[in-house]
Structures are given as C-alpha cells and as structure tokens.
Amino acid sequence: MSRALRPDARPQEARGAGARPQGWAPACPPVQPTPARAPQQVITVAAVGLHRSFRLPGRRGAEVSALAGVSLHLPAASLTALVGASGCGKTTLLQCIAGLDRPTSGSVSLLGRPTSRMRAGALAAFRAQHVGFVFQDDNLVTSLSAWDNVALPGRLRRRPLGRDQIGQALERVGLTAQARHLPHQMSGGERQRVAIARVLASAPDIVFADEPTAALDVGSGDAVLHWFEEIAAGGATVLMVTHDAAAAARAQQVLVMEGGRIVTGLEGGDPQAVSAAVLGARRGRTA
C-alpha cells in the first residue's frame, strides 16, 4: 500500500521525485541542440597524381607524357564533363581511371576500392559489376540483337537481367520495335541508344563516356545527354569526355585539360564559358 502524504510534506515530495518547486530556475541556460550537419558527398571516383607516359618507337629512351600528375575526386549522383583540345590527355585520363589502361604512376580508387592495384581478372570482374561504358562507336556485339546487347552485362556478371528490365530500358530509349534488330540493321543513333539502354538496364554505379555524341545528329545527341542526366540523378557518377562545348555545358561541372593536366574547372550551363575556358587553356600553354 502506498504511503499517504503528510500534511507538512515539502513541495518536492508533494509533486513527486524530480519535480521543480514553484519559482525554480535553472542555474545556467539550457544547452541548445547542435545544428544538423549537411550530408557529406560520397566520393566514388578518386584519382591521385596520375602520370602516363609512352615510349616513342625507334627512339631509345625517348618518351612522351600524356598525363602529368592529374588528381580528381567525383561524387555520387554527378555528371562531369572533361574537355580540352585534341591531344590534351582527356581520353587517356578516362581510360586510366576506368582501368582500360594502367597509369605509369599514381593511384585510382572506384567506390573505395584501389582498382589501379587490382590484377587484370579482378579488375574485369569489378568493371562488369559496377561500371558502364558508352563510346562514340557504341561497342555493340555485331552478332547480337539489340535485346541481347542490352542483356550482355548481366550475363558477364553472372546475374542475368530480367526481361522486364531489358524491355523497359529499350522502351525508355524508344527502341521497342527494334529489339530483335542486329546492329547493322540500325542507324548510328539507334545503335547509340542501344548502348544507353544497356547502361539503363544494368544500373551501374559509375558510367564512363568517351565522345558519346560526336557521331550523332543534334536530336539524337540531345537525347543521349538527357539520359546521362537521368542516370546521374539516379545516383550514379558519370564522367564524359567531349569536344562539344554545348554537350559539356549540360554537365554539373566541367574540367578543362591542357598538356596532360587539369588546368581549371567551372560549373556547367554556359557553352560559351566552356569554349572560352578551353581556348584560354590553349593560349596559356602556347604563350
């Protein structure tokens, strides 16, 4: 049985344990809650101090440098364009980051994995699992239909894509009617759309694109860039090499290369600003 309160009980006792008496005030102001921190960007592509040199045939000991200490860090859910004059090293940089070529020195990490130190077999398996490619020449298997080309990455990673995934990807790029066509039965724009559908269906974490709009008409090129924007909005990291200032301006950020280095960066959105940055980098080198 609970004990009855005494008539002379003190206020604290009458109010229960921990109660505050009338007129009570804290000895110091209450602690204000710490403001929530902005979420940190997740870096999915990291290159540090990349050098790549090639020996010149017929000239003992002579080398040409394609990359001269390039570093970059790209977050998830981003679309980045890499621009510069011909021979500046942008395709070499993309290939070294993607693991299609080995840097002479420096390191590359994709999704936190040190891919530049992986053996060839492990690197190929990693790419099949996490990386998608879109090239100027579409890289389709000529003996496979559009449907089977889209399905190919799933087979390579030994996790076949569902029919719905393949069908929906082809539908998104407007190729449902061409699903059984072979590459030679399609136009260049249609073949490039198959390459995009392959990326859409397999949903890789990282997409590397080398001049993906160079051989396309304006309408087809615009569609390809729209899909890259969608892929990045879905959480993937997209790195695109291009000579086209208008295409580069569709990216969130633009990195300008010259002489094997990234010399400047700017936000996307303005093709004229991209062109001016490329021209300025070129003039700076020849001055």
204-262 residue pLDDT tens:
999 999 999 988 889 989 999 999 999 999 999 999 999 999 999 999 999 999 999 99
Residue 225 within any structural domain of the chain: yes
Q: Which two tokens stand for residue 144?
A: 């496979």
User: Under the phi-then-psi rule, with left for phi > 0, alpha for psi from -120 to 50, and beta for the rest, what region is 24?
Assistant: beta
pLDDT score recorded for residue 49: 97
| Strand 63-75 versus strand 261-267 pairing type | unpaired
pLDDT score recorded for residue 98: 97
Residue 184 within any structural domain of the chain: yes
pLDDT score recorded for residue 9: 46
Residue 21 within any structural domain of the chain: no
Residue 24 within any structural domain of the chain: no
Residue 120 within any structural domain of the chain: yes
Q: What is the SS3 assignment for 287?
A: coil
Residue 1 within any structural domain of the chain: no
Domain that holds residue 150: 43-284
Residue 273 within any structural domain of the chain: yes
pLDDT score recorded for residue 13: 44
In the chain, which residues have pLDDT < 50? Answer: 1-18, 20-21, 23-26, 31, 38, 286-287
Q: Which two tokens stand for residue 196?
A: 């995009």
Amino acid found at 285: R
Residue 177 within any structural domain of the chain: yes
Phi then psi dihedrals of residue 286, to 5 deg = -90, -5
Q: What is the CATH number of the domain that holds 82?
A: 3.40.50.300
pLDDT score recorded for residue 285: 64
**Domains held by the chain: number:** 1
pTM for this predicted structure = 0.82
Phi then psi dihedrals of residue 256, to 5 deg = -105, 125
